[in-house]
């Protein structure tokens, strides 16, 4: 079985969701850091700094990771299609499925 072509949009949709989930995890970690920074910073200067940093990370990171991950994956799929057209694609072996020749 040979992968000769990848639909860039299909691949980008899946990658976008995966990258958004990774961004959500990263945003959660950044929000925890923000809570720590907020408690260490002088509350008289800007008492909401930690909360804004944390909430912003949970919203912004998944969106940015998802968008940029989808774009990068679509470009990679397009490049793969060009290279696979020249070299023949990636051969894979799958157990349990009939191989069409």
The per-residue pLDDT for range 12-70, each reduced to its tens digit, is 999 999 999 999 998 888 887 777 765 655 555 565 666 677 777 888 889 999 999 99
**Rounded Cα gap, residues 80 and 92, in angstroms:** 15
Report the Cα 86 to chain-centroid distance in Å: 28
**Rounded Cα gap, residues 5 and 14, in angstroms:** 16
Phi-psi region of 70 (alpha: psi -120 to 50; beta: other; left: phi over 0): alpha
Report the Cα 29 to chain-centroid distance in Å: 16
């Amino acid at each position: 079985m040979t992968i000769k072509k990848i639909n860039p949009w299909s691949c980008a949709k899946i990658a976008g969701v995966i990258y958004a989930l990774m961004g959500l995890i990263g945003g959660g970690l950044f929000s925890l850091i923000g809570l720590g920074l907020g408690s260490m910073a002088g509350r008289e200067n800007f008492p909401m700094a930690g909360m804004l940093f944390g909430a912003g990370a949970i919203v912004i990171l998944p969106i940015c990771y998802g968008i940029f991950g989808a774009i990068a994956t679509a470009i990679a799929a397009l490049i793969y299609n060009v290279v696979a057209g020249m070299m023949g694609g990636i051969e894979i072996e799958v157990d349990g499925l009939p191989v069409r020749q």
